[in-house]
Structure 1
Amino acid sequence: MTAAELSAELEVSIRTVYRDVEALSSSGVPVYADRGPAGGYQLLDGYRTRLTGLTSAEASSLFLAGLPGPAAELGLGEVAAAAELKVLAALPPEPRSQAAMMRERFHLDVPGWYRGSDEAPFLTEVAEAVWEQRPLRMRYRRWGPEEVDRDIHPYGLILKGGSWYLAAETSGEFRTYRVGRILRIEVLPGRFDRRPGFDLVAFWSKFAAEFSARMYTGVATVRLDPDYLGLLRYTIGNDITDAALDDAATGPDGRLRLAVPIESVRHARWQLLRLGSALEVLDPPDLRKLMAETIEELAQMYRG
């Protein structure tokens, strides 16, 4: 192609074409020019790019990001392993050795301790429907014993804390379903058109924020021995503890006064009892009363 043709195709100036061709040539790409009326720029016959543009850190991060467990759950274990081998073989020596070291020295295990991954027997079928834009009819178990039937357009899958979630459109609205709660599935005929502009990451971020806001419906005011702040973080999580610390005050006795977000009075009772006498509930009154009743029941049981 001539410089003028390249300029028109790439929508840049001819000067930019001259500059970029010179840069490509300097970096080892075998591009050369034939002079004359029928001339132009040409790549050496048979030339193929290799992954030489990856830095060592970039190559290493690829292998750290490759989670073999989730890939296998999606039915892509062998494909992911083959792709990893091909990428590794295409890397220059230094990035290749760095990537191999990363794989030898780091392993990502997604679920938390004492919590296994969800059993999701229909995950592979759901993943195929997501990829092929196939509508689904499913039998779904909601929270509690209720079962419902839903016709959905599956848009994307999210792995969160060892559990798979499905972002899907149903009756014109986007909803989230836990894949492990799908009881039965049927692939419907035809394909659906994805709604333009749908962003899976943005959708999940918004859902997670709204879910957190719905979950923490109340606030408990407590007094805490500051030496037990680490245990509070372990019990209710870093995010909730940080939110409570934003408006924390220290009393004359050195204890912290905190406003702690809670899901419910009954749920908060079991969470906060774990801190023993290091934490005192001041408000709301029904939580303070429930704490006292529970402690009295425990005291009577152990006295007996």
Structure 2
Amino acid sequence: MRADRLLSLLMLLQSRTRLTAADLARRLEVSARTIYRDLEALSGAGVPVYASRGPNGGVALMEGWRTTLTGLTRAEVEALAAVATPGALDDIGLAAALESGLMKLAAALPAAQQPDAEHARQRLHVDGSSWFQEREEVPQLAVLRDAVWQDRKVELSYRDFEGAESARVVEPYGLVIKAERWYLVAGTPKGTAVFRGARVEGTRVLPERFVRPEAFDLPAFWKGYCQQFAEKRASYEVTLRLRGEREEALGKVRSAADQARMAEAPLGEDGWKTVTLDFERESIAIGQLLTLGRAAQVIAPEQLRAKLKAMGEDLLALYAEQASP
């Protein structure tokens, strides 16, 4: 087990300019003391590794040094072979590069391991797309990608969830795709912020470059952001009566927590459940509940009941007044 960890430690140091002992401990899920012991073991084996102190300090390999170790375990070969070509990479022009890179990697494997790669490829396929949610169009994605790659500031024309427009200059750190939605992670005067790609209506790449924060790690930031979003997201609770047979349809567009609430709610003798769900915003509740028609009856809040009633009356009047074409 320690040999695997030493190899992982060496690969991390070889792929990054400099990492702190705390970073290495977090990535390898061990203590900082264990990292220091492993570094001593690498040094004793002839690996030119050193540590420096100070604000910009950390652990690094001697500049220009590279190991020739290229062996992969069977599990690593299978994991790499099972990587599908995500449509997301097509969006930013990298799908072909991924496919050719994996082909080169497979060709470079020892002959004894190549059957393992094909074996895995035929038994595991990863499809990250959704059944019911289409990928959003992001017309500015190519421009954003260039700005991210070149570390250039960008002036964004942005429309938020409520429809308010704004213009701002940001420092684009990276792009993330989650559930068929692209997001831009960028530095702003108020700190690191996240912008939904489909709401970026205009971009202008500025000639000015920015210095990317050395300690910024995109995967770590995104993980923390998602946790905070789940804890602090907007709340709009709706108590409703739901006809049992429509529970599955509503569950497809609700969170795991709401799905659990629906599953735990007792089914009455009349075939209805009473449950309180969190739709985040009134507009989301209206859009999802209207599709259920008479199978969902809002009990509270009263304002939502009134809006749904008014919408129903408007529709009734429309179809009552107009003859069929």
Correspondence for 2:83 = 65
Is the contact made by 2:235 and 2:281 (CA closer than 8 Å) also made in structure 1?
Answer: yes
Number of matched residues? Answer: 260
Distance in 1 of aligned mates of 2:227 and 2:298: 27
**Residue 204 of structure 1 aligns to a residue in which SS?**
helix
Is 1:217–2:246 an aligned residue pair? no
**Residue 290 of structure 1 aligns to a residue in which SS?**
helix
Question: Are residues 156 and 116 of structure 1, via their aligned partners in 2, closer, same or farther at CA, if it must alter by over 3 Å?
Answer: closer
C-alpha displacement of 1:136: 0.9
C-alpha displacement of 1:109: 5.3
Superposed CA offset, 1:190-244 (max 9, x none) = 4404152x3323432343355456664321111222232211212x324252253
Is the contact made by 1:248 and 1:259 (CA closer than 8 Å) also made in structure 2?
Answer: no
Correspondence for 2:195 = 177
Correspondence for 1:25 = none
Residue ranges of structure 2 left out of the alignment (5+ in a row): 1-36, 46-66
Question: Are residues 10 and 61 of structure 1, via their aligned partners in 2, closer, same or farther at CA, if it must alter by over 3 Å?
Answer: closer
Is 1:258–2:275 an aligned residue pair? yes
Distance in 2 of aligned mates of 1:291 and 1:9: 64
C-alpha displacement of 1:298: 3.6
**Residue 222 of structure 2 aligns to a residue in which SS?**
helix
Partner residue of 2:97 out of 73, 79, 83: 79
Distance in 1 of aligned mates of 2:292 and 2:90: 40
Residue ranges of structure 1 left out of the alignment (5+ in a row): 1-7, 18-46
Correspondence for 2:168 = 149
Is the contact made by 1:50 and 1:90 (CA closer than 8 Å) also made in structure 2?
Answer: no
Distance in 2 of aligned mates of 1:254 and 1:111: 31
Is the contact made by 2:173 and 2:185 (CA closer than 8 Å) also made in structure 1?
Answer: yes
Distance in 2 of aligned mates of 1:120 and 1:54: 41
> How many percent of aligned residue pairs carry the same amino acid?
25
Greater Rg by CA: 1
Provide the alpha-carbon RMSD of the alignment: 3.7
Question: Are residues 120 and 109 of structure 1, via their aligned partners in 2, closer, same or farther at CA, if it must alter by over 3 Å?
Answer: farther
Distance in 2 of aligned mates of 1:66 and 1:50: 23
Note the 1:65-214 alignment, pairs <5 A.
65-93=83-111, 95-100=113-118, 102-103=120-121, 106=125, 108=127, 110=129, 113=132, 115-123=134-142, 125-132=143-150, 134-143=151-160, 144=163, 146-150=165-169, 152-180=170-198, 181=200, 183-196=202-215, 198-211=216-229
Distance in 2 of aligned mates of 1:224 and 1:203: 38
Is the contact made by 2:147 and 2:154 (CA closer than 8 Å) also made in structure 1?
Answer: no
Distance in 1 of aligned mates of 2:38 and 2:82: 38
**Residue 65 of structure 1 aligns to a residue in which SS?**
coil
Is 1:287–2:301 an aligned residue pair? no
The alignment's TM-score, normalised by the length of structure 1, stands at 0.68
Is the contact made by 2:183 and 2:195 (CA closer than 8 Å) also made in structure 1?
Answer: yes
